[in-house]
Amino acid sequence: MPGRYQGYGFGNLSQRLTAFTPAHNPNCFLITGTQTGALAHLRSADYALVTNACPTQNQLTAEGLAAPSSEALSHAVIYQTLPHINFVFHVHCPTIWQLSQQLAIPCLPASLAYGTPAMATAIASIIKDKQVQTQGIISMLGHEDGLISFGETAEKAGWPLIHYWLLADNG
């Protein structure tokens, strides 16, 4: 993936984390903070613990030294909608994103901007589809290069990105 991201695909990663959360909210999750893309190694201070989220009202409560980005709302809606999902990855990958429709990746319409309540509602709706859950990836046509993958484990959340990147790159 040469070009704009120098071979990388910046974004944010999260993991559902229920064991140590004060509120015992099953949808709590740990997410990389804003502006951590340039760091080679993340410290605990570079994460935020999202203890409560209401994506449809654009509200987020978090603890920790790092601030979660507005993109955390899209992670929150996946944890709230699919109880078996424990990892959500959001990346910017032009190689896959530009071929989203040719690769039959489930797509959210270009009219939806990322980090908005409307986007959160659309994500909740599309991921209820069993086929979408099997693919484990969605493309946001309204968020340039934006993809979200998800899975029960980190490996399962990462695999769709590798799978579709290989397909796109060899296309």
Measured on CA atoms in the order 32, 36, 41, 44, is the torsion positive or negative? Answer: negative
Nearer to Zn ion, 142 or 146 (CB): 146
Q: How far apart are alpha carbons 138 and 118 in whole angstroms?
A: 16
How far apart are CB 11 and Zn ion at their closest, in Å? 6
Nearer to Zn ion, 21 or 72 (CB): 72
Residues in the chain: 171
* CA count, 13 A, side-chain hemisphere, 65: 6
Nearer to Zn ion, 37 or 83 (CB): 37
> Cα separations (Å) of 91 from 74, 98, 112, 145?
12, 13, 17, 8
User: Which x/- pattern over 76-115 shows residues binding Zn ion (rule: CB under 5 A)?
Assistant: ----------------------------------------
Nearest residue to Zn ion by CB is 146
Window 115-154: residues binding Zn ion (CB under 5 A): 146
How far apart are CB 114 and Zn ion at their closest, in Å? 6
How many residues touch Zn ion (CB under 5 A)? 1
Q: How far apart are alpha carbons 25 and 23 in whole angstroms?
A: 5
Task: Summarize as ranges the residues that interact with Zn ion (CB under 5 A).
Answer: 146
